[in-house]
Amino acid sequence: MASADDFIELGSSGLQRTSGFVIDEFISDLRGIRGARVYREMSDNDPVIGAMLYAIEKLILAIKWEVEPWHEKDKDVKKKDKENAIFVEECMHDMSESWSAMISQVLSFLTYGYAFCEIVYKKRVSPDAKTGMKRSKFTDGKIGWRKIALRGQETLWDWVFDDGGGVRAFQQSDPSVPKGLVTIPIEKGLLFRTANPRNNPEGRSVLRNAYRPWKFKKTIEEIEAVGIERDLAGLPVAYVPPSMLSSAATSAEVSARNAMQDLIRRIKRNENEGVLFPLAYDEQGRELYKLTLLNSGGTRQFNTDAVVTRYDQRIAMTVLADFILLGHDKVGSFALGASKIDLFTSAIQQIADTIADTFNDHAIPRLFRLNGMNTSRLPKIKAGEITHVDLGVLGDFVSKMTSAGAMQPDAGMDNYLRALANLPPRNEEEGGMMAPQGMDPLTGQPVPPAPPAGAPAGAPAGAPAGEPPPPEATNLYEMVSQQEQQKGG
């Protein structure tokens, strides 16, 4: 018999938080708004990270998103279920921004680890309605999606948690909007996350493992730039009277010393270069002030280019995208790159499926409840497949399977191969796949020569006139056997 404790959550996820602020990240620079700014700098400034995110975004935006009606296994789809699927598809393409634009905003969860989007509904009244709350392509009066709008990660103030650690609301503080603190209930939003460690509402950025190599790379590039500048301009050195550097220097001497320090810091080689410098001598005729540029004594000990390249590779490896560097550093096999691309596309497929699951688990059930519709037979949004197919390898495989008689070319295979190759669809009047002239469409083998004149219809080649034809083959095995007998005869 069940006890009361069986229905109570006794433990916790272990997520470290204080009030509504998540502090689970052990690097303080990557927490909260400060962390969001770091991740934005990484995605906006680093070319390798930018290429990675660009590739992921464009591949996902190229996916065909479909709505599958609810149906029982091995049974036909009912009319009502088809209508429900059509309704969801209408809502997807009846928002104030396109579906692709919305997906592009959702993909910000790759950079920040999460993306919180507010669902704004509308009444489907008329395309000419004056207010967006009623403007729609449809006039059935149903409730649809007006927009699914991203709430910027850098505007997050804190989260509202319940006693069990679940998220109850997203609290936003946008300094550009004079609303103050805005609380958006979780029931009115969609929370997309790349991962769900300890039920952390902020997920985990796909750039998290790239932070350390990115930081070192950034530092080295800055040092490299300063070193190049100093090699070109020289190291400025100013000679001044000893009294200006003593602790007993007068205020005038301190002021002159500060001006001199500021001067040598600002020396650069550009179109505005030039120095205004005092000319003064002591009683012995020696210069009181002198400015020189010390040139580099030789090349540096370290090859910074190799170091930066190493960090580029490690950054790309964190999201399985190191294939983008093939050819840039003149190393790597393109055959190996093909395998890496397959792994990369598999990971992207999972990201697209995660987005679809969030809609199916939360957005669609709420939409149907608002419309008073049955929620036991809900349609589902499905992300299309991200395919990377070597047509040469596939063609060789199909040819061998067909020649062996293990595969029969038909209309279904024809349509599939045409779609993979981005060829126009088959004309319905054409029937199945057309075999080459003189080839059997089922086995891919040469067709035997026609029987001699006067032989009965259906007689094999070389059969004497009047001999009855062999029985008609009823399956692929019998057909192949008869053809082998004909060859042997």
pTM to 2 decimal places: 0.73
Q: What are phi and psi of 453, to 5 degrees?
A: -60, 140
Torsion of CA 375, 377, 379, 382, to 10 degrees: 110
For the ranges 11-20, 114-123, 406-415, 424-433, the lowest mean pLDDT is seen at: 424-433
Residue-wise pLDDT tens digits, 335-345: 556 677 888 88
Report percent pLDDT > 70 for the chain: 80
pLDDT band with cut points at 50, 70 and 90 for residue 145: very high
Residue 301: pLDDT band (50, 70, 90) is: low
Across 178-203, average pLDDT: 94
Q: Round the average pLDDT of the chain to a whole number and report it.
A: 84
Least confident of 10-14, 77-81, 279-283, 366-370: 279-283
Report the pLDDT value the prediction gives residue 376, as an integer from 0 to 100: 94
In this prediction, residue 232 has a pLDDT band, given cuts at 50, 70 and 90, of: low
- Percent above pLDDT 90 for the chain: 50
Q: Which residue has the higher pLDDT, 319 or 227?
A: 319
Overall size of the chain counted in residues:
489
Three state DSSP letters for the chain: CCCHHHHCCCCCCCCCEECCEECCCCCHHHCHHHHHHHHHHHHHHCHHHHHHHHHHHHHHHCCCEEEECCCCCCCCCCHHHHHHHHHHHHHHCCCCCCHHHHHHHHCCHHHHCEEEEEEEEEECCECCCCCCCCECCCCCCCEEEEEEEEECHHHEEEEEECCCCCEEEEEEECCCCCCCEEEEEHHHEEEEECCCHHHCCCCCCCCHHHHHHHHHHHHHHHHHHHHHHHHHHCEEEEECCHHHHCCCCCHHHHHHHHHHHHHHHHCCCCCCCCCCCCCCECCCCCECCEEEEECCCCCCCCCHHHHHHHHHHHHHHCCCCHHHHCCCCCCCCHHHHHHHHHHHHHHHHHHHHHHHHHHHHHHHHHHHHHCCCCCCCCCEEEECCCCCCCHHHHHHHHHHHHHCCCCCCCHHHHHHHHHHCCCCCCCHHHCCCCCCCCECCCCCCECCCCCCCCCCCCCCCCCCCCCCCCCCCCCHHHHHHHHHHHHHC
- Which of 40-49, 165-174, 299-308, 373-382 is predicted least confidently? 299-308
pLDDT higher than 90, residue 82: yes
Residue 414 pLDDT:
79
Q: Tell me the pLDDT tens digit for each residue of 359-413.
A: 999 999 999 999 999 999 999 999 998 866 667 777 777 787 777 777 777 777 7
| pLDDT-based confidence at residue 138 (cuts at 50, 70, 90) | very high
Q: pLDDT at position 153, please?
A: 97
